[in-house]
Structure formats: C-alpha cells, structure tokens
C-alpha cells in the first residue's frame, strides 16, 4: 500500500507553519546581524580615515584642538555665587539662619538616585527574550487549545 502525502491535510499545514516560523525569525536575525557587522566595518573605516587626518595635523592645529578640549572639560566649582567669606551680620538680620523654627510649605527637592549604567545590547537581549517568550506562550497555548 502506498502512502500518499496529502498536502491539504490541516495537520501537515500546521506543522509546516510551526517549522517556518523559527526559520523565518532566524533569517531575520541573520540579516540584522549582517547589517550591524557591515555598519561596524564602515565605522572602522571612518575611524582609520580620521586617524590618518589627525596624523597629518600641524603642531599649531593640535595645540588649538587640545585647548578646545580643555575648554569643553571645564567644570564649575559650585561656589561662584557664594564666595568664601563668612556672612557679616551687622544689623542682626540673618541671626539663627541655620535653625528652622516653623513648618515649611514646600519640601526641598531631593536628588534623584543615579540610574545604573546598563549596556544597550543587554537591554535589547532581555526585551527580545521577553517578546519571544510572550509570543510562544500565546502561539503555543492557541495551538494546544486548537
């Protein structure tokens, strides 16, 4: 007896779909990774060209760039308006300024906590993992219910 594959069978079509979904997703990820590799290669070429341009700079141009870098790195000392002298209270206007004897109507602004520095690729990996897990939860439950 010959076994004939019936391509119109719903089980066969469903199996093909379930095999095709990860294959298509894998091809999509391969295209994205290839594009990223090509982009990084282009950036590397640009960096090499930039290094060649920097190597050809004169001493005067290098001095100007270093001066600009020091200007950009300048940070204020946070006491520009305050000064270093103690206040002189000859008329008694600022006596007991460090004591708070009455309720404040507005709370002082609190500094926010610094956010941890998390690598962007790690964040994307976690989001992709959650998205895939959610997708397969829905698809798997739907197929199981079917």
Residues 22-41 have a mean pLDDT of 94
Per the domain annotation, does 48 fall within a domain? yes
Q: Indicate the number of domains in the chain.
A: 1
pLDDT for 145 beyond 90? no
Per the domain annotation, does 134 fall within a domain? no
Task: Look up the domain containing 28 and give its range.
Answer: 8-73
Per the domain annotation, does 46 fall within a domain? yes
Interacting residues of 18 by C-beta distance below 8 A, sequence separation 6+: 143
Per the domain annotation, does 61 fall within a domain? yes
Percentage of the chain modeled with pLDDT above 90: 41
Per the domain annotation, does 110 fall within a domain? no
pLDDT digits (tens, 9 = 90+) for 88-121: 667 766 665 566 666 666 666 677 778 888 888 9
Residues 41-70 have a mean pLDDT of 91
Count other Cβ atoms within 10 Å, centred on residue 139.
Answer: 13
């Amino acid at each position: 007896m010959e076994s004939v594959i019936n391509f119109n069978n719903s089980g066969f079509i469903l199996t093909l779909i379930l095999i095709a979904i990860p294959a298509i997703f894998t091809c999509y990820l391969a295209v994205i990774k290839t594009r990223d590799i090509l982009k990084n290669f282009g950036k590397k070429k640009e960096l090499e060209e930039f290094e060649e341009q920097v190597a050809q700079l004169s001493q005067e141009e290098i001095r100007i760039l270093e001066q600009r870098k020091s200007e950009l790195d300048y940070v204020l000392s946070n006491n520009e308006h305050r000064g270093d002298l103690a206040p002189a209270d000859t008329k008694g206007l600022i006596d007991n300024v460090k004591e708070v004897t009455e309720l404040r109507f507005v709370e002082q602004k609190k500094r926010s906590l610094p956010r941890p520095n998390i690598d962007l690729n790690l964040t994307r990996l976690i989001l992709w993992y959650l998205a895939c897990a959610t997708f397969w939860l829905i698809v798997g439950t739907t197929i199981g219910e079917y």
